[in-house]
Structures are given as C-alpha cells and as structure tokens.
Amino acid sequence: MMILRHSPASPFVRKVKIAAEVLGLADRIEVQDADTVAPEAAFLAQNALGKIPTLVLEDGTTLFDSRVIVEYLDHLAGGGRVLPKEPTARFAALRLQALSDGILDAALLIVYEGRYREPPMRLQSWLDRQHDKIGRALAVLEASPPDQTDVPDIGQITLACALGYLDLRLAGAWRKDYPRLVAWLDRFAARVPAFARTKPA
C-alpha cells in the first residue's frame, strides 16, 4: 500500500484523491492524517516542508506536491489518462491546473490570515489582493468554461477542487457572480462521482 498523508479539508489532497479514484488506484492508497500546523517529526521526515499531500511509496520514497503525485499516479495507471500526452491537450490541462492552483494559493492565504493572525494583525489590503486574484481568474473561466472530457484531466479536476474550496472556506460567495461556473461544477459533480465522495464534512 502507498500512504497518503492528508487532512480532510485540503483542496490539494482532494486533487490527488479524485485523480486516484479516476485512475482506479484508490484501493492502493491508505490515507493517514497529518497535522500541518504543528507537524510531528515522522511527517517532517517524509516531507521537510511539512505540507500535504505527501505520498509515501511502498519502498519508502516520498513524493510531493500535488502536481507531482498526480503525475506519478497517472504514470502508474499507464500514462496519458488525467495528464494527456498529446501536447495541445497536455499544456491546456497544465495551464488550467496552474490557474486553478493559483486560485487555491490565494484562497489559502486568505484562510491563513485568519488561522495564524489575531484580528488586529490581519491586513485588509493583503486579503483584497488575494480576493482580486481569485475574482480575475474566475472571470476568465466564466467567459469560457473549460471543456469536460470523458476522463477528466488534471486541469478540470483542479478547477473543481478550487470551486469546492471556495464553497467550503469562502461561503460559496462566488456562486452569485459566475453562473456558468456553477453549471460547470454541477456537470463535473454529476460526471465524476469521486468529487462528491471527497467532499469535506
């Protein structure tokens, strides 16, 4: 068994879990909690950065971050499944993953502002900066929602995880402004059962 160090609410972990299920590899992966706020020594030995997801292979080798793990799982599944081999499709998927990871990075910084700082130390202009990034990225995606392929690629999976994280942590405030993305996410959820199964409680 491979071991996935995780936390139930992490959107980057969710990418890996959805990819694993789409690739038919979920039953080869055991999930184990990891505390990233106060990481224990065994976890830091697996990933010095103290970040999740971290995948521990059967030989003890560890892999991170989510992009690397997903590429590894795709490779294990034969290659070219969630990460297309054909260059145009591949770079479109990688670009959409990067845009969606960027939404997530900004959303995480908003969450961390609350998690790590008392109210007087929270900086509104910093929060605004992150909200602006998210808003601009969503506007671009709303103007032209990505195609959904039979097997979802890592770009589509990451966008779904990003929108799901905005629902979880930012009260779904995005929904009123981006109706085509709401429809896009509904369609993704209907096509990819792993999305509902990996929804944080």
Task: Rank residues 21 and 101 by Cβ distance to a copy of itself and give the closer one.
Answer: 101
- Tokens 């995480």 -> residue: 108
Question: CA 197: distance to chain centroid?
Answer: 14
Distance of alpha carbon 57 from alpha carbon 54, whole angstroms: 10
Task: Rank residues 19 and 194 by Cβ distance to a copy of itself and give the closer one.
Answer: 19
Give the closest residue to 142 by CA, choosing from 90, 103, 189, 200.
103
Q: Does 63 bind a copy of itself (CB under 8 A)?
A: yes
Q: Does 42 bind a copy of itself (CB under 8 A)?
A: no
Q: Which stretch binds a copy of itself (CB under 8 A): 14-22, 27-35, 137-145, 182-190?
A: 137-145
Question: CA 77: distance to chain centroid?
Answer: 20
Q: Which stretch binds a copy of itself (CB under 8 A): 21-29, 67-75, 144-152, 177-185?
A: 67-75
Contact call for residues 23 and 71 (beta carbons, < 8 A):
no
Binding-site residue total for a copy of itself (CB under 8 A)? Answer: 36
Helix (H) or strand (E) holding 120: none
Residues at the contact surface with a copy of itself, assessed by CB under 8 A: 44, 48-51, 62-65, 67-68, 71-72, 75, 87, 91, 94-95, 97-99, 101-102, 106, 116-117, 121, 123, 125-126, 129, 133, 136-137, 139-140
